[in-house]
A and B are shown apart, each in its own frame.
Chain A
Amino acid sequence: MNELILGIPAQYIAVAIMGMVYAVIIAEKMNQAVIALVASSLAIILGLLNQEQAIEAVDFNTLFLLIGMMVIVGIMKETGIFQYVAIVAAKSVRASPRGLMAVLSVITAVFSAFLDNVTTVMLIVPIVILLTEQLKLKPFPFLLAQIIFSNVGGTATLIGDPPNILIGSAVGLSFTDFLFNMGPAIVCIVVVMLGVFDFFWGRHLTTSMRARAHLLRYEPAKALKNHSLLIKSFFVLGLVMAGFTLGHNFLHIETGTTALAGAALLMFLDGFGHKLTEKNKKAHAAFHEVEWDTIFFFLGLFIVVASLEHTGLLALAAQQITSLTDGDFTKTGMVILWASTFFSAFVNNIPFVATMIPVIQSMGDTFGQGDALNPLWWSLVLGACLGGNGTLIGASANVMVASFADRAGHSISFMKYIALGLPLTLLTIAIANVYLLLVYFL
């Protein structure tokens, strides 16, 4: 596309629009969804793509998956199951600070693999603050662990982190593809990070027997609020997981449909047997759980990236990367891994991944189509998700934990975080690098 728009080459305009989105996100001067919608409107009005092309560019499977999971988790959190699990885990290690740090980290990693990272830390961090206050411990190492392990855990599955949802939906990688390919890498990283946290913090933590005894008197069963809803939630979550694996592989039902169907079923079951006003109230509350600004951020972004793609710029970027790496598959994978780590540490990884998807797809001409490109996708997944640990603004979960810490009077400064978070991130990326080389590139 070599068109001129208002006398300016279309490619320049597309880059300027994308640059504006990045600049506003970095400057934090405007809501992300608003700037994405402003940018996508501009792209259409200026003629970078027409309305039909813009609608075609929206990946509704990703949006349905996000909306469905937000509704399911929103209803499920009312049951108190997350607090229950955290308290049971704390009691299982006899409230020892060292054990507590390990179990809370593992819980966060596991929850993050199946829930959105921000939701996970919103549910677990208040409990972490309570338990550390109870044991008279400084919460910082526990909060740092929450950040690191939420981003690590989120990398393991298709639904763990929005970049994975984007990649999985665009490329057709299934829930099981993610679990089998990313799962082993994440287990290795979790084990190493548990050791690191224990070495630097866990083994030095001490508390009084009296404080531990107090915590051991907690009754986790009382944290469970609505047993009937809990059973319904687990039933639906089981069906959704089966849908992600069996449904996708055998019935060819997309993950977005499965998640949205699960959300609809859970809302139906939640309202079952209640009066209409109560049913409406429950449905309204469930829809309220959807983070609509995230949904519209994605929607706008799909259109902005498509406008870049239409100008042929992303194909050009793909050519540049492959020529930079001399067309070497391994080198290209490593460049994607480290570049996505760097970008994700400093800017939101979602626009970066959305931009990289068509770039990598264009590399199919050099490296082959379909499964041949999978190692590059896994490089992008690992770099984009784990890179989010690099700085305090690298991922939304980090910002959320920092906000909780601030409210509780234990502020985490940007530099203090970077001094510890960045080396830990580099360590996780080094492990990922070795994993990628051993499993896919050598």
Chain B
Amino acid sequence: MACTEAFIPNFIKLDPNQTVKDALKILEDNHIRVAPVIDANGDIVGMFGLHSIMEDLLPMAAQIEDGLEDLDFIIGGAPGAAKKIRKIGPRSVRDHMQTDIEDLLLTPETPLLEVIRCLTRYGSPLPVVEEGTRKFVGLVSEQSCLHCLHEVLLEVEKEEQGQK
């Protein structure tokens, strides 16, 4: 069974030139945490979500690789983080999306077990692109995968009953 069987039927796409404020509103209205960012050519250029915004709220020293691993000692940092949200709001999604998405990309031919492995390793949802390109074709998520497996189970049970 391939990846296409587990696609999310309806999904939200974002434009890289949208403002962060508008993008966050879309995520909130649709009760989702992350969405693919697709350019005018239909290519995926990144993933935008609450997680990447959360990271941007941290001091730079905690964002960087090998940076600070805890900030317990900073007291009263909330107003500073709140001000950062105000500062980030008018900026474009392009500046705040996750761009290192090479490992996240699946293709329509990716087998379902590999999709599950990637979901457990990289989180959900994951984008699916045409083989060898960045042309966006859909999304798979943990829910859509489980739904797909549930359908498979129903079929298996039907077959087993038929054999009896």
| Bound-state Cα–Cα, A129 to B65, Å | 13
A218 touches B75 (CB 8 A): yes
B59 touches A87 (CB 8 A): no
Stretch from B42-50, B66-74, B138-146 forming part of the interface with A = B66-74
A429, chain B: closest CB distance, angstroms: 31
| Bound-state Cα–Cα, A408 to B72, Å | 21
B73 touches A408 (CB 8 A): no
Hey, which chain B residues are within 8 Å of A83, CB to CB? 68, 73
In this complex, how many residues of chain B approach chain A with their Cβ under 8 Å: the count is 16
* Chain B window 47-61, contacts with chain A (Cβ cutoff 8 Å), 1 for yes, 0 for no: 000000000000111
What are 22 A-B contacts defined by CB distance under 8 Å? A83-B73, A122-B66, A126-B61, A126-B68, A129-B59, A129-B61, A129-B64, A129-B67, A130-B60, A130-B61, A130-B62, A130-B68, A133-B61, A217-B76, A219-B75, A220-B73, A221-B73, A223-B70, A404-B66, A407-B67, A408-B60, A408-B61
Hey, which chain A residues are within 8 Å of B67, CB to CB? 126, 129, 407
Interface of A (DSSP majority class): helix
Hey, which chain A residues are within 8 Å of B66, CB to CB? 122, 126, 404
Q: List 6 other contacts, CB 8 Å, given A80-B70, A130-B68.
A: A83-B68, A87-B73, A126-B61, A126-B66, A129-B61, A134-B59
* CB closest chain-A residue, reference B68: A126
Is A214 engaged at the interface, CB distance under 8 Å to the other chain?
yes
B61 touches A223 (CB 8 A): no
Hey, which chain B residues are within 8 Å of A225, CB to CB? 70
Hey, which chain B residues are within 8 Å of A80, CB to CB? 70
A379, chain B: closest CB distance, angstroms: 35
Is A222 engaged at the interface, CB distance under 8 Å to the other chain?
yes
| Bound-state Cα–Cα, A130 to B72, Å | 13
Which residues, 53 to 76 on A, are CB-close (under 8 Å) to B? none
Give the contacting residue for B60; candidates A129, A219, A222; CB below 8 A. A129
* CB closest chain-B residue, reference A406: B64
Which residues, 71 to 109 on B, are CB-close (under 8 Å) to A? 72-76, 80
A291, chain B: closest CB distance, angstroms: 14
A130 touches B59 (CB 8 A): yes
B101, chain A: closest CB distance, angstroms: 19
Hey, which chain A residues are within 8 Å of B70, CB to CB? 80, 223, 225
Hey, which chain B residues are within 8 Å of A407, CB to CB? 64-65, 67
Which residues, 353 to 386 on A, are CB-close (under 8 Å) to B? none
Is A7 engaged at the interface, CB distance under 8 Å to the other chain?
no
| Bound-state Cα–Cα, A80 to B71, Å | 11
Is A437 engaged at the interface, CB distance under 8 Å to the other chain?
no
Hey, which chain B residues are within 8 Å of A409, CB to CB? 60
* CB closest chain-A residue, reference B79: A214
Is A239 engaged at the interface, CB distance under 8 Å to the other chain?
no
* CB closest chain-B residue, reference A131: B61
Hey, which chain A residues are within 8 Å of B80, CB to CB? 214
* Chain B window 124-135, contacts with chain A (Cβ cutoff 8 Å), 1 for yes, 0 for no: 000000000000
Hey, which chain B residues are within 8 Å of A129, CB to CB? 59-61, 64, 67
B107, chain A: closest CB distance, angstroms: 32
Is A315 engaged at the interface, CB distance under 8 Å to the other chain?
no
Is A229 engaged at the interface, CB distance under 8 Å to the other chain?
no
Is A173 engaged at the interface, CB distance under 8 Å to the other chain?
no
* Chain A window 71-104, contacts with chain B (Cβ cutoff 8 Å), 1 for yes, 0 for no: 0000000001001000100000000000000000
A201, chain B: closest CB distance, angstroms: 20
* CB closest chain-B residue, reference A214: B76
Hey, which chain B residues are within 8 Å of A223, CB to CB? 70, 72-73
A353, chain B: closest CB distance, angstroms: 28
| Bound-state Cα–Cα, A83 to B67, Å | 12
Closest 5 pairs between A and B when the two form their complex, measured CB to CB: A130-B61, A407-B64, A222-B72, A129-B61, A222-B73
A218 touches B73 (CB 8 A): yes
The answer to whether residues A127 and B68 also contact, given A217-B76, A223-B73 and a CB cut-off of 8 A, is yes
| Bound-state Cα–Cα, A356 to B135, Å | 59
Hey, which chain B residues are within 8 Å of A218, CB to CB? 73-75
| Bound-state Cα–Cα, A110 to B37, Å | 49
| Bound-state Cα–Cα, A134 to B64, Å | 16
| Bound-state Cα–Cα, A214 to B75, Å | 8
| Bound-state Cα–Cα, A221 to B72, Å | 9
Which residues, 219 to 237 on A, are CB-close (under 8 Å) to B? 219-223, 225
Give the contacting residue for A133; candidates B60, B65, B72, B76; CB below 8 A. B60
| Bound-state Cα–Cα, A409 to B61, Å | 11
B75 touches A217 (CB 8 A): yes
| Bound-state Cα–Cα, A407 to B67, Å | 10
Which residues, 179 to 219 on A, are CB-close (under 8 Å) to B? 214, 217-219
Give the contacting residue for A408; candidates B64, B74, B75; CB below 8 A. B64
Hey, which chain B residues are within 8 Å of A217, CB to CB? 75-76
* Chain A window 121-154, contacts with chain B (Cβ cutoff 8 Å), 1 for yes, 0 for no: 0100011011001100000000000000000000
